[in-house]
């Protein structure tokens, strides 16, 4: 009997020692609890028979700096998050493994094409999108009702949208139409709708007539009584103004849902699409997304690919979606029953999801080639601020921004 028990113990020990551990790294905070639960409930049970176990480590503080340091030191995990904002220089460095040899074209085709393209460089796929966001218009139904102004809707152009904002602001003296931010991360969606692109065929930024048209419209909102700067209302983003009912409208992604659920649970809001450029009749938008990418120096690449397949599976993405945590990157899940449920947050998620499709119009990834995105946006943000506050004319602000971008791109 003892001999039999020893054999069982040794067999179990052998199985444990043969297990391959795939390390995952991503954001800290809430992501640590969420991803640890996902790994425990979905990923590891699916891979148990193959002797593979995933472990998640959340990194607090400056994630990008910590990841780059870990990669340089040879201590980075097998799989890690890569934010689209700074993805391209990392992909070009050779430190991230191309995924084309681990996933067939058919397996890759299940992901939203705009999202997958965001993590593709020179024909190689360097990450699978774990989830995403786009921008949408959130509006306070009660404030629009009180002002007797029709709600924003998907047929609005910039002109009709602005008129509604102006009418609300005129009717409700203590409420503004839109809380305006001097930030390309919001303004840029309108510029995309005109046909302007951040980089031309030569990789240079040209602030052309299309850019100017969007710039003039956006910077006129405060001057024409349709909004006020967020900073003048003691806020740093459009969602803060909206949640405090200082503004009737916000322009944010699905992340505003959790904020409102916590800070303004009784706020009766709706969501619609970014308004249309009255000239092109197109919308513009951004894709904000994070990938799961593979460490090129990983010693467990085949096992890591299997974990990655489970992390982005239908089961995993439904698990995330059903908890209201993020939007799925698989195209087929646009028809998920979760997204079709009634309710303000589900409407928010539906509109944000559809913003990544052809309905969203000119949808560009929130990335800036090999340049530092913050550095590239700075001249445009400064130009927006200067015109909105009356310190510069449109002509002077755009000329100064162009000169600074020329210097950055030399």
7 confidence band (pLDDT: 50, 70, 90): very low
Q: Which tens digits make up the pLDDT trace of 268-296?
A: 999 999 999 999 999 999 999 999 999 99
Per-residue pLDDT, averaged over 378-405, amounts to 98
Residue 279 falls within a domain, yes or no? no
Name the residue among 31, 68, 7 with its Cα closest to residue 326: 31
Main-chain phi, psi angles of 191, to 5 degrees: -65, -40
Contact 230, 238 (CB under 8 A): yes
Encode 270-302: b = buried (16+ Cβ within 10 Å), e = exposed. Answer: bbbbbbbbeeeeebbbbbbbbbbbbbeebebbe
Residue 319 falls within a domain, yes or no? yes
Residue 214 falls within a domain, yes or no? yes
pTM of the shown model: 0.90
Long-range contacts of 214-217 (CB under 8 A, 24+ apart): 214/187, 214/190, 214/277, 215/187, 215/191, 215/383, 215/384, 215/387, 215/394, 215/398, 216/394, 217/158, 217/162, 217/190
Chain center to CA of 381: 19
Strand intervals (E) in 60-146: 79-83, 96-97, 120-121, 124-125, 128-133, 136-140
Per-residue pLDDT, averaged over 303-326, amounts to 91
Name the residue among 82, 93, 145 with its Cα closest to residue 115: 82
3 confidence band (pLDDT: 50, 70, 90): low
Residue 125 falls within a domain, yes or no? yes
Residue 42 falls within a domain, yes or no? yes
Residue 365 falls within a domain, yes or no? no
51 is in which domain, residue-wise?
A: 21-132+288-344
Last residue in a domain, options 344, 360, 387: 344
Q: With DSSP H G I counted as helix, E B as strand and the rest as coil, what are the percentages for the chain, rounded to 5?
A: 50, 20, 30
Domain count, the chain: 2
| SS3 state of residue 88 | helix
- Shared domain for 178 and 299, answered yes or no, is no
Name the residue among 234, 165, 218 with its Cα closest to residue 387: 218
Per-residue pLDDT, averaged over 79-91, amounts to 96
Per-residue pLDDT, averaged over 183-203, amounts to 97
Main-chain phi, psi angles of 233, to 5 degrees: -105, 10
- Shared domain for 213 and 314, answered yes or no, is no
Q: Take residue 360 and report the two structure tokens written for it.
A: 């969203």
Alpha-carbon distance of 91 to 374, in angstroms, equals 18
Q: How far is residue 255 from each of residues 252, 290, 304, 351, measured CA to CA in Å?
A: 7, 14, 29, 13
- Shared domain for 27 and 117, answered yes or no, is yes
Contact 318, 328 (CB under 8 A): yes
Report DSSP state, residue 41: I
- Shared domain for 109 and 87, answered yes or no, is yes
Alpha-carbon distance of 25 to 63, in angstroms, equals 9
Residue 107 falls within a domain, yes or no? yes
- Shared domain for 376 and 264, answered yes or no, is yes
CB atoms within 10 A of CB 328: 27
Report DSSP state, residue 52: E
Alpha-carbon distance of 183 to 186, in angstroms, equals 6
Strand intervals (E) in 193-282: 227-229, 247-252, 269-272
Q: Which tens digits make up the pLDDT trace of 15-35?
A: 445 799 999 999 999 899 999
- Shared domain for 184 and 265, answered yes or no, is yes
Q: Take residue 232 and report the two structure tokens written for it.
A: 């003048």
Per-residue pLDDT, averaged over 357-366, amounts to 93
- Residue recorded with tokens 């699916």: 46
- Shared domain for 115 and 167, answered yes or no, is no
Residue 27 falls within a domain, yes or no? yes
- Shared domain for 172 and 243, answered yes or no, is yes
Contact 249, 242 (CB under 8 A): yes
Name which residue leads in pLDDT, 87 or 16. 87
- Shared domain for 244 and 167, answered yes or no, is yes
Q: Assign residue 199 the CATH number of its domain.
A: 3.40.190.10
- Shared domain for 168 and 269, answered yes or no, is yes
- Shared domain for 198 and 148, answered yes or no, is yes
């Amino acid at each position: 009997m003892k001999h039999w028990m020893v054999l069982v113990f040794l067999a179990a020990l052998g199985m444990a020692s043969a297990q391959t551990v795939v390390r995952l790294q991503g954001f800290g905070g809430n992501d640590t609890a969420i991803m640890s639960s996902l790994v425990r409930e979905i990923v590891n049970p699916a891979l148990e028979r193959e002797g593979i176990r995933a472990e998640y480590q959340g990194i607090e503080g400056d994630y990008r700096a910590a990841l780059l340091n870990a990669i340089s030191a040879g201590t980075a995990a097998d799989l890690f998050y890569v934010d689209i904002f700074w993805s391209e220089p990392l992909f070009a460095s050779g430190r991230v493994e191309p995924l084309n040899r681990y996933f067939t074209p058919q397996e890759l085709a299940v992901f939203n094409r705009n999202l997958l393209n965001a993590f593709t460089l020179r024909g190689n796929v360097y990450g699978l999108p774990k989830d995403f966001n786009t921008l949408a218009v959130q509006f306070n139904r009660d404030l629009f009702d009180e002002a007797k102004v029709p709600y924003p809707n998907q047929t609005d152009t910039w002109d009709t949208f602005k008129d509604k904002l102006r009418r609300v602001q005129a009717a409700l003296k203590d409420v503004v139409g839109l809380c305006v931010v001097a930030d390309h991360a919001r303004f840029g969606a309108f510029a995309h709708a005109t046909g302007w692109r951040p980089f031309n065929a030569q990789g240079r930024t040209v602030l052309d007539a299309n850019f100017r048209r969007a710039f003039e419209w956006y910077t006129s909102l405060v001057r024409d009584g349709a909004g006020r700067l967020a900073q003048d209302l003691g806020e740093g983003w459009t969602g803060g103004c909206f949640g405090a009912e200082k503004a009737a409208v916000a322009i944010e992604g699905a992340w505003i849902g959790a904020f409102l659920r916590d800070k303004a649970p009784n706020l009766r809001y709706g969501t619609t699409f970014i308004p249309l450029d009255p000239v092109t009749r197109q919308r513009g938008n951004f894709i904000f997304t994070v990938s799961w990418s593979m460490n090129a120096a990983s010693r467990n690449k085949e096992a890591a690919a299997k974990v990655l397949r489970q992390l982005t599976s239908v089961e995993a993405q439904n698990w995330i979606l059903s908890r209201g945590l993020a939007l799925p990157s698989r195209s087929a899940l646009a028809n998920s029953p979760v997204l079709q449920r009634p309710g303000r947050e589900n409407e928010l998620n539906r509109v944000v999801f559809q913003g990544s499709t052809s309905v969203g119009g000119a949808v560009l990834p929130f990335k800036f080639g090999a340049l530092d995105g913050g550095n590239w946006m700075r001249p445009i943000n400064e130009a927006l601020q200067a015109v909105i506050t009356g310190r510069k004319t449109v002509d002077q602000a755009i000329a100064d921004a162009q000169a600074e971008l020329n210097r950055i791109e030399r």
